[in-house]
Amino acid sequence: MVSSCSQKQPIDSQKTENEGSGIYRYYCGEKDGFKIWIVDGPLVRRKIFDEFLYGGNPERYTFVPEGEIWIDNSISAEEYEPTLAHELNERNLMARLRMTYFDAHDSSLQLELKMRKDYFSKCSAHERELNPVSPVDFDSTQEIAALPEKIKLKNIYRVPYGERDGTKIWIVDGFEVRRDIYPDFGLSGNDKAYHFIPVNEIWIDGDISCEETEYSIAAELKERDLMIKGYLYDDAYTEAVKISDKMRNDQLNLCSSHSPIKVANPLYRDTGTGKEITK
């Protein structure tokens, strides 16, 4: 996303042609007609362009294939949605208005700012509406003895991530959860495993890599469903892990089948192509 790219040359221009194997990590589906891929950011920086940060689109970076948007797997789950919106907006401004990268980038930062403020408003409103919750897990274990029987959630929610199978997904501040509610909160959780998670919610730790988000959501949905059906937590957890394991193998096969990208100079554009300007 942010890159000065002051006429910088490739890391090694003799080695960039036909690079790209091993770049792809997770296919997120399509949005606005673009295939969204989470890619190995450190690998891109090492093999192709050392100023690649947060994400990229084909109007800015010539090594990103047409019709794709890249998201750096180094960013957190909390940063995924603003980054995706940024790259789509930046790409469209450069392609449709022949805008310079710097102007398109600034416009996209303003879009991000609006989204972040909107998230804050929605999360604050959600916390105000919630009833106090019990700081215990499925077997009534309370890991912070000093807490009362009921607590009010505050400054926990970060991003409303949508809804899956009728269950609301929220990105939360995992650090605060571990510090103030339950030290053993891991990458994610659901309302059946943790009683401090409100009814019909799944929480995803905002600090995890964006690459892990969908695996965590799938596992939590499965675990939650099985516990509703009467499974013990340990058995539900074991079955849920199998779901994420299968997803990882499927993604590995899908990413491995992607054609290697071709990289050649120039690596980036300072002005959009304007190829979608209508006359």
pLDDT tens, residue by residue, 44-99? 999 999 999 999 999 999 999 999 999 999 999 999 999 999 999 999 999 999 99
Is 156 contained in some domain? yes
| Percent over 70 (pLDDT), the chain | 92
Give the mean pLDDT of the chain.
93
| pTM score, whole prediction | 0.92
Per-residue confidence (pLDDT) for residue 277, from 0 to 100: 92
**CA dihedral defined by 43, 67, 36, 121, rounded to 10 degrees?**
120
Per the rule left: phi > 0, alpha: psi between -120 and 50, beta: everything else, 80 is alpha
Question: Domain check: are 137 and 249 in the same one?
Answer: yes
Tell me 155's DSSP state: S
pLDDT tens, residue by residue, 214-265? 999 999 999 999 999 999 999 999 999 999 999 999 999 999 999 989 898 9
Is 53 contained in some domain? yes
Question: Domain check: are 40 and 93 in the same one?
Answer: yes
Identify whether the C-beta of residue 217 lies closer than 8 Å to the C-beta of residue 208.
no
Q: Which is nearest to 24 in space by CA: 44, 8, 6?
A: 44
User: What does the longest C-alpha to C-alpha distance in the chain come to?
Assistant: 68
Of 262 and 21, which is predicted with more confidence?
262
Containing structural domain, residue 112:
24-116
**pLDDT bucket at 4, cuts 50 / 70 / 90:** very low
Identify whether the C-beta of residue 114 lies closer than 8 Å to the C-beta of residue 83.
no
Per-residue confidence (pLDDT) for residue 236, from 0 to 100: 98
H helical segments located in the chain: 41-47, 80-97, 101-129, 174-180, 213-228, 233-256
Is 66 contained in some domain? yes
Question: Domain check: are 64 and 29 in the same one?
Answer: yes
**CA dihedral defined by 274, 43, 20, 33, rounded to 10 degrees?**
-40
Is 123 contained in some domain? no
How many folded domains does the chain comprise? 2
